[in-house]
Amino acid sequence: MSGLSVILRREIRLALRHSTDSFMVVGFFVIAVVLFPFGVGPESNMLARIGPGVIWVAALLAAMLSMERLFQTDYEDGSLELLVLSPVPMELTVCAKVFVHWLTTGVPLILTAPLLALMMNVPFEAWPVMLASLALGTPVLSLIGAIGAALALGARRGGVLLSLLVLPLLIPVLIFAVGAIDAHLMGGGAKANLLLLGGVLLGALALAPWASAAALRQAVAS
Amino acid sequence: MNILHRFANPTRFQRLSKKIEPWVLVLMLLTMGSGLYFALFSSPVDYQQGHTVRIMYIHVPAAWMALFCYTAMAIAAAISLIWKHGLADIAVKATAPIGAAFTFLALVTGSLWGKPMWGTWWVWDARLTSVLVLFFLYLGYMALRDAFDDPARGAKSSAILVLVGFVNVPIIKFSVDWWNTLHQPASVIRMDGPTIHVDMLMPLLLMAFAFKFYYLWVMLVRIRQELMAQRIRALKHRQAIE
């Protein structure tokens, strides 16, 4: 287990030293949401109606923006080869990297969301459900994004390709998350959608590390 | 395993495929011709849908093929990853554009049918959305496959993507049962037998077989063409070295 904690500590230290990455993700998130009042008009009822969906889509895109770098630097400087060769199973290494990625992008996104909800006039009673859906959903973005990042490693135009591969797979997350918020606002109760979202999270947690590790191994092998 | 590796030999495969190909073509033309005749002229008009029901004879087989092609790709991708089977990998590559075309056909015909029947070209229900995701998966596969300078890398990476995307196939199949969708539930492949009248079932099945044979035929042609392209690449490579 000590090998894993070394990797975890290395990832956290790297993330702290590149803290501008997190700020850029949050900056993109804020700007993308702020564009909408200009795009659809500042009418507060309409903003309240589309607010949760806009916040979720922007969070999804912001998380994608940071995904490309998840394995890229390790791949370029060769440390990925050492990680593959190390006694720590690659699946666990992927889990550690995904966890740190979530800490440095998912958590800042969750913390910024209330501010944006305020600006978008989202009713207060929807806030707990929105935050719960973000808490359950953002780890899935990191997990599934990791598969895409590992697959597109070393590809031409990797960033665009990554979005093309991963965004379709993330549509269920968006559906259940926004469904939960809408159902709560309509008075239907958010429980069913949140449970489905939790199910997606557990499924991704069980399967994504294996797929990413397989992709990383063959990226290093060739 | 022997049978799997027997046809990994390109020459043996090509000899066999040349023998099969004319038969597949004839079967395809027969089923397609009779299927289209029954579908367009000699099948009853639906009491609710009128003549628009005839769109179904293209739409439903195309949608089946969309799932069938992806499943075939996933199986071939698994075989190529596990046993490093060269032909399986070529089969994945050969199937992708065919599957994408069938998915596109299913989406377009569904949309054409939806306008007179549902009053809208498109609704965001679970079946339509998941099929759209399937279409994106096909496109993503083709993009990823071509994105690497090293073809072997692209082949492996995209094979993993195909396996990851396979989660979508059961979601498409059962989307009409799990959610309340505008799209009608299955009426042919169900536990208690088909609920569709035999006069409509026959052209539907004929068209389904026609599409299957079409797929088989195009795939054989594409695999042989890919094998030839590989051989040309190898020859050019050798020439460049000498």
Nearest CB to B147 within list A155, A215, A219: A155
A·B CB contacts under 8 A: 65
- Number of domains into which chain B is organized: 1
Yes or no, beta carbons of B158 and A151 under 8 Å apart: yes
Residue that has been written with the tokens 């071939």 in this structure: B76
Burial A194-219 (b: 16+ CB within 10 A, else e): bebbeebbeebeebbbebbbbbbebb
The residue segments making up the domain with residue B199 are 54-236
Within-domain flag for B73: yes
Cross-chain residue pair A151–B165, CB shorter than 8 Å: no
Of B137, B156, B157, the CB nearest to A168: B137
Query: Does residue B28 sit within a domain?
Result: no
Nearest Cα residue to B153 out of A75, A216, A148, A69: A216
**For the segment A113-164, what is each residue's pLDDT rounded down to a tens digit?**
999 999 888 888 888 899 999 999 999 999 999 999 999 888 887 778 888 8
What pLDDT, on the 0 to 100 scale, is given for residue B54?
85
A218 CA: distance to closest CA in chain B (Å): 7
Question: Which residues are CB-contacts of A167 (< 8 A; sequence separation ≥ 6)?
Answer: A60, A64, B136
Q: Amino acid identity of B240?
A: A
Is residue B20 assigned to a domain? no
Which portions of chain A are predicted below pLDDT 70?
Answer: 1, 222
| Residue indicated by tokens 């092998």 | A221
Our CA-based measurement puts residue A131 at a distance from the nearest CA of chain B, in whole angstroms, of: 25
**A219 interaction partners in chain B (CB closer than 8 Å):** 153, 157
Q: Kindly give the parts of chain B with pLDDT less than 70.
A: 1-4, 7, 180-181, 188-194
In a domain, B193, yes or no: yes
From the centroid of its chain, how far is CA B59? 13
DSSP letter (8 states) at residue A155: -
Distance separating alpha carbons of residues B10 and B42, to the nearest angstrom: 44
ipTM of the shown complex:
0.82
pLDDT value of residue B171: 84
Residues in B touching A215 (Cβ below 8 Å): 157, 160
Q: Is residue B104 part of a domain?
A: yes
> What local confidence, expressed as pLDDT, does residue B1 receive?
55
| Predicted pLDDT at A216 | 92
Q: Which residues of A touch B153 (CB under 8 A)?
A: 154, 218-219, 222
Q: In this structure, is residue B191 part of a structural domain?
A: yes
Q: Please give the pLDDT value at position A46.
A: 86
Q: How far apart are CA A29 and CA A56, in angstroms?
A: 10
- Amino acid letter at A126? A
Pick from A157, A164, A165, A174 the residue to mutate for testing the B interface (most B CBs within 10 Å).
A165
Inter-chain residue contact B157 with A152, CB threshold 8 Å: yes
The answer to whether the CB atoms of B143 and A214 lie below 8 A apart is no
